[in-house]
Amino acid sequence: MSTLTFTMLKPDAVSNGYAGKIINDITEAGFKIVALKYTKLSPEMAGRFYAVHKERGFYNDLVSYMSSGPIYVAVLQKDNAVADFRTLIGATDPKKAEAGTIRAKYAKSIEANAVHGSDSDENANIEANFFFTQFERF
Ligand code: CMP
């Protein structure tokens, strides 16, 4: 069944010039881009987006990193989108990501790990709604 997931191409991926290559990998893997935006998070927005990690030791660094430069945000559609996208991007820590995955190819560190991918259908919906209205999806 066709389902949705949400992704961000993070500041490291954008500043290193990998955004085009990553978008190509995503579409080659069969994902349809139904919404796409180039934007920059304020610290307040980054904090709200990652509020589930508030108690984690890396939260403050993550918020300042995610608001340090422009990002791309996108909603993607495919059968089994959430799980298939997580397979495509690989483990959170690029050192543990399987060869050929987006994080293995393009990420710098566990924090600057090139891309975000939703971890459930419920969070995909919440995250897509954080950035896009229904009228911005095609
Ligand atoms: P993401 O999948 O977007 O979800 C939470 C983010 O926190 C993660 O990717 C990393 O960018 C960042 N992060 C930094 N340190 C850690 C850590 N030790 N474990 C998990 N995520 C981390």
Number of domains in the chain: 1
Distance, in Å, from the CA atom of 95 to the CA atom of 137, rounded to the nearest integer, reads 34
What CATH number does residue 22 fall under?
3.30.70.141
pTM, full prediction: 0.97
At 35-88, the pLDDT tens digits run 999 999 999 999 999 999 999 999 999 999 999 999 999 999 999 999 999 999
The residue with tokens 């796409």 is 36
Protein residues whose CB sits closer than 6 Å to any atom of ligand 1: 53, 58, 62, 92, 110-111, 113, 116
In terms of Cβ atoms closer than 10 Å to its own Cβ (0-12, 13-18, 19+), residue 104 is: middle
> What is the CB neighbour count within 10 angstroms for residue 37?
12
The three-state secondary structure class of 104 is: helix
Domain that holds residue 123: 2-136
At 101-133, the pLDDT tens digits run 999 999 999 999 999 999 999 999 999 999 999
Q: Which of 116, 117, 124, 132 is catalytic?
A: 116
